[in-house]
Amino acid sequence: MQRRGIQHSLYLMLGVLMMVFVIAGCTSSEPGWTDFVGAAVDKSFPVPKEAKQSETVLNNSKMDYVHYSLTGLHESKDVPEAYEQVIAEWGWKELKEESTGTTWVYEKGKQIVQLTIHENSFTVLIPKPERKMVIQGLESSP
């Protein structure tokens, strides 16, 4: 009788342990790539809704940028395919000749966006156009 109780307890513990493994296996630390919102620096550039804004610099003379943390994002040679597709769907075109390393450059109309992917984070940067000063020379009169 006592042996049967121990056996049932072992089966119960084994069942609970298996459920823990199943639940842990079903949760993913990879981004979902399903819901997107506009970036803090440019609402027309998509960012995953699950990304957490961690740093923003606006009104800098050379650039505006926002840094997002996103668990499961990996620094690599490519933008994740699902994200790349959404960026294109939102009307952005990659400027391949401008993209280098882990920074990709996109254009939409006259707007330029740089996307840099880091380990578990990414940055969306908007460079400000350089303002060239025109200096008119003085013409000497005879």
pTM attached to this predicted model: 0.69
Domain holding 111, by residue range, is: 36-127
For residue 104, what are the β-bridge partners?
A: 115
Residue-wise pLDDT tens digits, 47-103: 999 999 988 877 777 889 999 999 998 887 789 999 999 999 999 999 999 999 999
What residues contact 22, with CB distance under 8 A and at least 6 apart?
A: none
Q: Mean of the per-residue pLDDT values for the chain? A: 80
Residue 56 lies in a domain: yes
Number of domains in the chain: 1
Buried/exposed 127-139: b ≥16 CB within 10 Å, e otherwise: eeeeeeeeeeeee
Residue 72 lies in a domain: yes
What residues contact 10, with CB distance under 8 A and at least 6 apart?
A: none
Per-residue pLDDT at 8: 57
| Cα dihedral 28, 30, 36, 38 in deg (nearest 10) | 130
